[in-house]
A and B are shown apart, each in its own frame.
Chain A
Amino acid sequence: MTDVNTTDANTTDAHSSGPFIAAIDQGTTSSRCIVFDRDGRIVSVDQQEHAQIFPKPGWVEHDASEIWTRVQSVVDGAISKANITADDIKAIGITNQRETTVLWDKATGEPVHNAIVWQDTRTDALCREFGRNVGQDRFRRETGLPLASYFAGPKIRWLLDNVEGLRERAERGEILFGTMDSWVIWNLTGGPDGGVHVTDVTNASRTLLMNLHTLDWDDKILASLDIPKQLLPQIRSSAEVYGTAACTLAAGVPVASALGDQQAALFGQTCFSEGEAKSTYGTGTFILLNTGGQIVNSYSGLITTVGYRIGDQAPVYALEGSIAVTGSLVQWMRDQMGLIKSAAEIETLASSVEDNGGAYFVPAFSGLFAPYWRSDARGVIAGLTRYVTKGHLARAVLEATAWQTREVVDAMQKDSGVELAAVKVDGGMTSNNLLMQTVADFVDAPVVRPMVAETTCLGAAYAAGLAVGFWPDTEALRANWRRAAEWTPDMDAAARDREYKNWLKAVERTMGWLDEEN
């Protein structure tokens, strides 16, 4: 007798008759693979964390080989959990942590050094040097970005300068550069055996090396940073077939999309119209506003980036507010401080008190990103008295995420003139009810969570599905969006203003901590 209950619970559902789209999300803390059906519903998930390497204060690295091993394993895991084969999968899409930089040997596939992660600040001095007499906005007109250690270009240069013999090998054309999308696609499509070396416009727009207007590498900037062009991948659209998977249980499936994780979330939230925005709460928090075909310059500390480009359609641009540390502060409370055992417990601890007890926590671990862009800032806990408990600190941790959201939303309204009617949220931290209520309170706007919290993977799946005709157009995707929860602001305006002032005072205290010469 066969017992239906012993088969995987996910496959007994009626919705799971194929075909399907798979998506790989190579993230900062973990890699995951999700199989979706035509309605955008999750059929199966597999996920694995990888090691975070902190060689020195301010330095963050990943082992790219470990990441590739994990990616293969989650692809196999998700496909086998779904109880399907490569034949059932129409396309596979890639989304990834952005800016994280790896250089590898073209012939062997061996990375020449650990990948330098986006949070890493080792290129601060280099960036100041590149700014020369102009300052951090030297390449802003071309790239939409300030010169900051966050972006990939300076990380490439650091590797060229610091890995023995690398520059010579790079000039001989033996070395390839990639952000994680390129690394995964190159390996997935065969590696040293015919792997394709490509990146998409969204990832390329985070290198400080791509011109936003031409969507091509900028020769002048390459010369200024002294980066040989033969390292660089070909820039392609975000939704087209780059090649075919040559390994894993997905072998034979077209690889059909690549988007930086934040752009993928914008896509997954179906923010396809000008003026639509989303906020993703993960390791960091990133708020993106679709600005359509317009390249909007920011005067309020945001950055201009490519939202996505579908095949040969016109590119869609976005304004972005990048916040470096939100979920990673919760991880810090768990791993470094040992105050909680799991990320979710921060809510339990924070709920044990009524308020922050006067404490404010500005987690400028990698300097301050939007809207300040101060690499000389470092973290501060302000307002400490004997009264403050770990419960108050937990509150301050959650409030830090909410205040940083507020700062970016304010900047976005200044730059774009668009008043956000509601904040559309996604990401791991949205399971935190207290945090979502606090965001609604501090921003003074409703916070709305869609039914698929995994919008990053969903966005990559959508783009891949569009590329192979699995979905006809973006309108069909919009119909899949459903509201799962909504938090309404419920805070006295005077209290909000008073608290915001305190927060801003605490922010001020982080600045100038590092001296120029460090």
Chain B
Amino acid sequence: MNPLRHTFISRCLDTTPPSTNPLPEELRYLDIGCGGGIFAESAARLRTTASVTAIDPTPDVLAIAEGHKRRDPALMTKGKLTYLNTSIEELPVPGSEAEKFDVVTLFEVLEHVNAPGPFLESVISNVKPGGWLVLSTIARTWTSWMVTNVVAEDVLGIVPKGTHEWQKYVNEGELREWFAEKGGWGGNGGVKAMGVVYVPGLGWKEIPGGEAWGNYFFGVRRDG
């Protein structure tokens, strides 16, 4: 899954329309709900990354992330990768637009959240004008119900039973609508989606149109 996240982010960044606020050569990332830090570490290793701030409110997973980070001296450079034990709601909003982040990521978090609207409000207050919010989640459809409750949890055993509550899933169309109503987001081609599916033996693969019925990536750019 992780390499696909970079594929999708590059796709978003590469199509950024010409703007008055071009993003810098080296990007600042905020990874929300970083878990064990798989994505945060990989983002910090990229040549085009200035820094990664990764947050998670669960102390246990953050301890794992910190422990794993120490195994790579390249990540120990001060300011490269910073873990903070906090929820996004409690993270202080940056004081100025310039202090906000170029790329805000939210992978496999949205489906666990009770009130997606207010939650997304806290998330997007960290995105710089011209910056991107990139997330991955799973659509609320009959296919995903089957996959989550029967295949992933029972048959494949990929995730522990009871990890997901299907009712909480957010559909791609709902996200598009939410940002359209909000205004100031996704103008000029700044909305992207990519469906992915888990193929046993092959791993995660992109599947055109898959955003309508299963796991998908969603990227939206803040105008400016």
Question: Do A and B form a real pair?
Answer: no
